[in-house]
Every structure is written in C-alpha cells, then in structure tokens.
Structure 1
C-alpha cells in the first residue's frame, strides 16, 4: 500500500471548501484511489497549511495511474494557480 499526502496553502483561504469538494469527488472517477481523506485546517497558526489530502493506493503503479488520470490532471490544472505552497510525501504503508 502507498500513502500519498499533500498539504496545500492557498492564495485565498476561502477556496478551501471548494478544493475539498473537488478532491472528495475524485474516488468516484479514479478507481486507482483506494481511500481518500481531505481535511481543512482548524487552527490557522502561522505554520499551518490550509488543507491536507491523504489517499492510499494499492501500489506505486496505482499511484502513477492516479497521478496521470485525466480527472486528477484536470483538478491539478484548476488548483495549482491558486496554490502558494504544496508539500507532497509518498510512503509505503
């Protein structure tokens, strides 16, 4: 199992709920996602990201299918212009 973690910080925090909704729609469109959880930061500290995504995938091949799936590419093209920082970690779980 591969766990994929992304922490986003946005230009405008008001977009967080829309990002969350769009991400939560992806499992229905991308079978390579085993699980997906999205959380919006509640503390708002100076070091906090605004939103975190945690997804799991059966293996590295499934993660690559997810990364290149048209629905994921479409989401990335929409969200990246609104992102000020993004940190990604992928690990064997």
Structure 2
C-alpha cells in the first residue's frame, strides 16, 4: 500500500476529506519523527512502540577495495508490534 492509498483509506474510514486525512497522517508521522529524534519512544497501546536503538561500532569491508574498515556506532529507529497488531495479523 502506498502513502496515497493509505490516506484514501484513512479518509474513508474516518469520514474525512482527503486533504484533512493527508494533514492528519503527515502530522502523526512528523510527531513520531520528532519524538524519535529527541530520543523519546512513542507507544500506541495495542498497536506497537516506536523507539530508538543504539547500533554499536562494528568491523566491515569496503566492497570496492576489499579493505577492512570500522563502521561507526549509530542510532536507528525500531518498531515493536503490540499484542493487538500481532493478533490481527495472525487471523
């Protein structure tokens, strides 16, 4: 499903105009992004939890030269599915 299809379905389900649904979806994504950028987790009970994980530094290989290199530590977004979402997917 594309973002456009998602917005159309949100609009239909919530009884909103497409532009209102677009604004709501964009606002929700922006809030999640800014919260994660600040290091805060976003928990939507039953749906899941968006959080930031720390990936440690590790050894890697440059694919062009085959030379060993160190890949720096970084922060990455993660999502853990909630029980209601897991149940919905299983059925």
TM-score tier by shorter-chain length is under 0.3
Larger radius of gyration: 2
Flag the structure with higher strand content.
1
TM-score (norm 2): 0.27
Bigger RCO (CA 8 Å, 6+ sep): 1
TM-score (norm 1): 0.27
